[in-house]
Amino acid sequence: MKILVPIKRVVDYNVKVRVRRDGGGVETAGVKMSMNPFDEIAVEEALRLREKGVASEILTVSIGVPQAADTLRTALAMGADRAILVQSEESPEPLAVAKILKILVDREKPDLVILGKQAIDDDMNATGQMLAGLLDWPQATFASRVEKTADGLAVTREVDGGSETLALALPAIVTADLRLNEPRYAALPNIMKARKKPLETIAATDLGIDLTRRLAILSMAEPPARKAGIKVGSVAELVEKLRNEAKVI
């Protein structure tokens, strides 16, 4: 089986983002960038499927600025076999990303695409589902467990108030949730070796996809700080407020 793992370069999860004073975006100058943590989980799951003998080749793809090559190198250091960078000026919206990925899927013919359930920058939670729609493939979002079965995959997914298991025919799309696995470290020798693994670069503009944003960003702002509420004098008053004012119990 061949697995395609699309990954995204995002502001590192340890960094507190701040909105620029002009409200036009968040400050990214000198900010540490890393692989989207959910994508790291996706890479790890692909590696585990290969270690179980289910997968034979792992191809990783990123779409974005030239520095996204560093993110791909991280995936290669974790163990992916080769990488494709689709270079574009800015990070396209999920719909355009899904269209680009569809072209790569048509070219590379993977049996499975695993990707993070969402990127921790725009929190869109859409690319996997959109790609599944465009390809007319079955999808399992928010996966917490992936098993190869005789005729496809059994995927356990996190749903509201519990989990459920789906059987998917292949080829299929799986999006990774937090509990799917704990990604491995990229060991130093593997980082060194990853520098020699194949990384192909394609210009996004050469793929004939319209990258124009459909969602114009009018403004960005930090949410208003929470204000202190009131002090209540007794348990009875608290219960009364929660019932009749806040209506949360």
Query: Looking at beta carbons only, is 108 or 122 nearer to other proteins?
Result: 122
- DSSP state for residue 13 in the 8-state scheme: T
- The CA-CA-CA angle for residues 68, 72, 78, to 5°, reads 145
- Tell me the two tokens of residue 45: 């799951």
- Tell me the two tokens of residue 237: 């008053």
Residue 121, interface with other proteins (CB under 8 A)? yes
Per CB under 8 A, contacts with other proteins among 158-217 are 158-169, 172, 182-185, 187-189, 191-192, 213-217
Residue 17, interface with other proteins (CB under 8 A)? yes
Interacting residue with other proteins among 68, 104, 126, 209 (CB under 8 A): 126
Per CB under 8 A, contacts with other proteins among 24-43 are 26, 29-32
The stretch among 49-57, 59-67, 107-115, 120-128 that binds other proteins (CB under 8 A) is 120-128
Per CB under 8 A, contacts with other proteins among 53-112 are 93-95, 98
The stretch among 53-61, 107-115, 198-206, 238-246 that binds other proteins (CB under 8 A) is 238-246
Using CB under 8 A as the binding criterion, the count of chain residues that bind other proteins stands at 91
Q: Are 180 and 114 in contact (CB under 8 A)?
A: no
CB of 23 to other proteins, least distance (A): 9
Instruction: Give the CA count within 13 Å in the CB-facing half-sphere of 149.
Output: 15
Q: Which residues contact 98 (CB under 8 A, 6 or more apart)?
A: 126, 127, 130, 131, 133, 134
Residue 150, interface with other proteins (CB under 8 A)? no
Entry field: residues in the chain: 249
CA torsion, ordered 28, 43, 177, 62, to nearest 10 deg:
40
